Chain A
Amino acid sequence: MAEQSIRVASAHGLHARPASLFTQAAARAGVPVQISKGGKSVNAASILGVISLGINYDDEVTISTDGENAEQVLGELVTILSTDFDAN
């Protein structure tokens, strides 16, 4: 199982637009991906699950998968999490 931790860059955290972009990307990965914060873990393709984690700016989250192409899948999701979508 591959996992990676990262701090969320979006100024308003992982809500609304950044959350949509993230969950869509996770769904596209085609393999189950989990995202966790503070010990609570949810399906990364579930927007309601992701929103329910209440992820704010600079919170540390961990994403993990044991599917194929794990490194590539996680790399893509990390890029999204480290982008500040609220900047413009």
Chain B
Amino acid sequence: MEFHGVGIGRGLAVGPVLRMPEPLPEPADQPSSLSADAEQERITDALAATAVTIRLRGEKAGGTAKEVLDAQALMAEDPTLADDIAAKIQSGKTAERAAFEAFAGFRDMLLGMGGYLGERANDLDDVSQRVVAELTGVAVPGVPDPDYPFVLIARDLAPADTALLDLDKIIALVTSDGGPTSHTAILAREKSIVAIVGATDATQVADGSTVIVDATAGLVIVDPTEEQLAGVRTELEARSAEVPVPIGPGALADGTPIPLLANLGSATGAADAVALGAEGVGLFRTEFLFLDATIAPTVAEQQEHYTALLSAFPGKKVVVRALDAGADKPLAFLNTAHEENPALGLRGLRALRANEQILRDQLTALANADAATDAELWVMAPMVATVEETRYFAAIAREAGIRTAGVMVEVPSSALLADRILAEADFASIGTNDLTQYTLAADRMLGSVAALQDPWHPAVLRLVGEVGRAGVALGKPVGICGEAAADPLLAVVLVGLGATSLSMSAAAIAGVREELARFTMAQAVEFAGIALAATGANEARAAVLATISKSEQSNQPEHQPSQKVE
């Protein structure tokens, strides 16, 4: 049996399968056949047992996970919740239904409070599932934790799941849902875990089966033959003998330099990024400075952070993105209005423009930090949709003393008019996650449309190509700073479309560096053409892979004498 999905990276692994348990169904709302006292006794025992289990897991996990789990144990023992459940049981509900409803009530309240508290809603859901599992005597849903290494197969993984995963035990990750920008894919790239996402029906594989996970081919082979297993072992040995491309500047096989930069969310990750070979920062997100604040941080406070960041990259490029917030990532002082469609609302540069002093303060703090350090500071505006917005940002940035001012291309309108946008801006940086979301009208946050969120889609690539072409014509740099740049093969295609630098999570740099070194610019341009001509994202990926394997076979005919080469 085989399953096909989208491979993340080029890893290869073999091991026994464990599946993530399915979430429990909602307990039916039917009158209890037991007395209220009997139901009350059941729930009291179940809550106590759940708290004990969670605490034990916390002891085992230690560190931050222990704190999260201890807080979860307290939720199970919560007196307010217990009162709520007791009242529902008195009204004739079963213990299961009463617990489910009481937890859901608190969950909705936390979600309504948003932000950090909204995230705790997941914790509450987890406790709720555990209590219901305890009551019904079924397996507790959650992350498998055996004492041997395994291949984890799941529908998709939530951040709450991955926080509890012992990554050292995971040989490979396979998901049936979720695309190449899903949380699972991002985690796999960051931690260099062999992974295949979107392998439809893979959750049917039985626990304990042996599987081969081949990310290069996007293939999961269940119960492989001895011959297939031997092939994997040979290949793994050959790979471990391969000399890795040494850490150094990114370049194509013909020597064309393609600087590899890091995406950072705070100054603390800078040293790690440099160690992993980042040649600078291609996207520095500044939201962390503002997230927990009820008023905007002062120029002096911001300047201190920016100076720390820039000091880590003497002589190197650091691209800072101005505050990117909106109704989907609300900040108390920026925009608190409720919006039906936050992705299409007052966000990015639009929100900054409505609060111009915040933008001016940030730009001043950045210019001051630039003057005090030796890094090469570039600053860009998020979510720019028009030429007029570009002109506005470039002017206000230069006025504040920013020497290099650019824009993010995330909206199709900016990509389509890239020649006019780049006439005003010093550079463009393509945010492929949002560009894909807007091009395919598929909400990034919505699992049910995750399959559409694939930057390999030729429509997205065509827009990237528009920006690349404008960059070449005007002699302006065009960077990529979305998840797409972390996909090694797609990175080559993006270079073929005109990207002059690639920025990604630092852990992904090694894989991309290696892939770039395999191909020349002529090949990258050829792959770009092939991908652009495809009918969809999967077709584009498959067509480029087919071209590569064809050329590898024709280069090494002695290894594949029986293979037919067209």
Spell out A's residues near B (CB within 8 Å).
11-12, 15-17, 19-20, 23-24, 42-43, 45-49, 51-52, 54, 56-57
Once A and B bind, how many residue pairs between them come within 8 Å at the CB atom? 52
Name the A residues within 8 Å of B124 (CB-CB).
Answer: 48
A53 to chain B, nearest CB (A): 10
Which of A17, A42, A54, A57 is B80 in contact with, Cβ under 8 Å? A42
Given contacts A42-B80, A46-B80, A47-B78, contact A17 B71 (CB under 8 A): yes
Please report the C-alpha to C-alpha distance between residue A27 and residue B447 in the assembled complex, in whole angstroms.
40
Name the A residues within 8 Å of B78 (CB-CB).
Answer: 46-49
Q: Is the pair B117, A56 in contact by a Cβ cutoff of 8 Å?
A: no
Q: Is the pair A23, B117 in contact by a Cβ cutoff of 8 Å?
A: no
- Counting chain A CB atoms within 10 Å of each CB, the highest count among B70, B78, B106, B294 belongs to B78
Please report the C-alpha to C-alpha distance between residue A47 and residue B292 in the assembled complex, in whole angstroms.
21
Q: Is the pair B109, A47 in contact by a Cβ cutoff of 8 Å?
A: no
B168 to chain A, nearest CB (A): 25
B202 to chain A, nearest CB (A): 35
Closest to A52 in B: B109
A41 to chain B, nearest CB (A): 12
Closest to A19 in B: B71
Q: Is the pair B70, A20 in contact by a Cβ cutoff of 8 Å?
A: yes
Task: Kindly state whether residue B145 has any CB partner on chain A within 8 Å.
Answer: no
Of residues 56 through 79 on chain B, the ones whose CB sits less than 8 Å from some CB of chain A are 67-68, 70-71, 74-75, 78-79
Please report the C-alpha to C-alpha distance between residue A24 and residue B74 in the assembled complex, in whole angstroms.
8
Closest to A54 in B: B113
Name the B residues within 8 Å of A54 (CB-CB).
Answer: 113, 117
Given contacts A20-B67, A52-B109, contact A47 B74 (CB under 8 A): yes
Closest to A58 in B: B294
Please report the C-alpha to C-alpha distance between residue A20 and residue B74 in the assembled complex, in whole angstroms.
7
Given contacts A16-B67, A54-B117, contact A46 B81 (CB under 8 A): yes
Name the B residues within 8 Å of A17 (CB-CB).
Answer: 67, 71
Task: Kindly state whether residue B110 has any CB partner on chain A within 8 Å.
Answer: yes
Q: Is the pair A56, B294 in contact by a Cβ cutoff of 8 Å?
A: yes
A56 to chain B, nearest CB (A): 7
Q: How many residues of B contact A (CB 8 A)?
A: 20
Task: Kindly state whether residue B392 has any CB partner on chain A within 8 Å.
Answer: no
Closest to B107 in A: A48
A15 to chain B, nearest CB (A): 6
Q: Is the pair A12, B71 in contact by a Cβ cutoff of 8 Å?
A: no
Closest to A53 in B: B113
Please report the C-alpha to C-alpha distance between residue A51 and residue B81 in the assembled complex, in whole angstroms.
13
Name the A residues within 8 Å of B110 (CB-CB).
Answer: 51-52
Name the A residues within 8 Å of B67 (CB-CB).
Answer: 16-17, 20
Closest to B292 in A: A12
Q: Is the pair A11, B120 in contact by a Cβ cutoff of 8 Å?
A: no
Task: Kindly state whether residue B116 has any CB partner on chain A within 8 Å.
Answer: yes
Q: Is the pair A48, B116 in contact by a Cβ cutoff of 8 Å?
A: no
Please report the C-alpha to C-alpha distance between residue A15 and residue B79 in the assembled complex, in whole angstroms.
18
Please report the C-alpha to C-alpha distance between residue A3 and residue B210 in the assembled complex, in whole angstroms.
63
Name the B residues within 8 Å of A46 (CB-CB).
Answer: 78-81
Please report the C-alpha to C-alpha distance between residue A52 and residue B78 in the assembled complex, in whole angstroms.
13
B103 to chain A, nearest CB (A): 9
Name the B residues within 8 Å of A20 (CB-CB).
Answer: 67, 70-71, 74
Q: Is the pair B80, A43 in contact by a Cβ cutoff of 8 Å?
A: yes
Closest to A49 in B: B80
Given contacts A11-B292, A42-B80, contact A47 B71 (CB under 8 A): yes
Please report the C-alpha to C-alpha distance between residue A55 and residue B79 in the assembled complex, in whole angstroms.
19
Q: Is the pair A48, B117 in contact by a Cβ cutoff of 8 Å?
A: no
Closest to A15 in B: B116
A17 to chain B, nearest CB (A): 5
Name the B residues within 8 Å of A15 (CB-CB).
Answer: 116-117, 120
Please report the C-alpha to C-alpha distance between residue A51 and residue B422 in the assembled complex, in whole angstroms.
48
A5 to chain B, nearest CB (A): 20
Q: Is the pair B120, A51 in contact by a Cβ cutoff of 8 Å?
A: yes
Please report the C-alpha to C-alpha distance between residue A52 and residue B108 in the assembled complex, in whole angstroms.
11
A sample of 20 more A-B contacts (CB under 8 A), given A16-B120, A47-B71, A51-B117, is: A11-B292, A15-B120, A16-B68, A16-B71, A16-B116, A17-B67, A20-B70, A20-B71, A23-B74, A24-B74, A43-B79, A46-B78, A47-B74, A48-B78, A48-B80, A48-B81, A49-B78, A49-B79, A51-B110, A51-B120
A10 to chain B, nearest CB (A): 11
Please report the C-alpha to C-alpha distance between residue A19 and residue B116 in the assembled complex, in whole angstroms.
13
A-B contact pairs, 13 of them (CB 8 A): A16-B67, A16-B120, A17-B67, A20-B67, A43-B79, A45-B79, A46-B78, A48-B75, A48-B81, A48-B124, A49-B79, A52-B110, A56-B294
Please report the C-alpha to C-alpha distance between residue A32 and residue B348 in the assembled complex, in whole angstroms.
48
B50 to chain A, nearest CB (A): 14
B73 to chain A, nearest CB (A): 9
Please report the C-alpha to C-alpha distance between residue A49 and residue B79 in the assembled complex, in whole angstroms.
9
| Contact bitstring B158-170, A, C-beta under 8 A = 1, else 0 | 0000000000000
A23 to chain B, nearest CB (A): 6
B62 to chain A, nearest CB (A): 14
